[in-house]
Amino acid sequence: EADIYQTPRYLVIGTGKKITLECSQTMGHDKMYWYQQDPGMELHLIHYSYGVNSTEKGDLSSESTVSRIRTEHFPLTLESARPSHTSQYLCASTSSSGANVLTFGAGSRLTVL
């Protein structure tokens, strides 16, 4: 049973709209991540956070922004969606201890027309 939740699962939206992808986890994890997954399957890290009020950009440049006001919540926002933003967005979290196993949400598939 997943303890990390993403909404919406699917979103089809027109160019220029503002969208927010929600991600919440109930495991008390301090570290959270957003990955963008290409149609060809490869995952790219676009944002991460090591705790409240801490956010960093990942390896892949993204026009999206994130915030971390509460430990359990890590939303991703696109101010003006474009067709190039069409992708699968995966949220993940982990604790700071042990093997740092990432727990993933089910993903949000965004299509921008």
Partner 1 sequence: GEDVEQSLFLSVREGDSSVINCTYTDSSSTYLYWYKQEPGAGLQLLTYIFSNMDMKQDQRLTVLLNKKDKHLSLRIADTQTGDSAIYFCAERKTGANNLFFGTGTRLTVIP
Residue closer to partner 1, measured from CB, 19 or 90 = 90
What is the smallest separation between the CB atom of 40 and partner 1, expressed in angstroms? 8
Q: Could you tell me where the DSSP H helices lie in 4-86?
A: none
Which tokens in the block code for residue 40?
């060809």
- Beta 103-104 vs 65-66: how paired, if at all? unpaired
> How far apart, in whole angstroms, are the C-alpha atoms of residue 69 and residue 108?
21
Do 35 and 59 meet the contact criterion of CB atoms below 8 Å apart?
no
Rule CB under 8 A: which residues touch partner 1?
2, 6, 31, 33, 35, 40-43, 45, 48, 50, 58, 90, 92, 99-107, 109
What is the smallest separation between the CB atom of 17 and partner 1, expressed in angstroms? 23
Residue closer to partner 1, measured from CB, 69 or 99 = 99
Do 89 and 76 meet the contact criterion of CB atoms below 8 Å apart?
yes
What is the smallest separation between the CB atom of 31 and partner 1, expressed in angstroms? 6
Residue closer to partner 1, measured from CB, 58 or 75 = 58
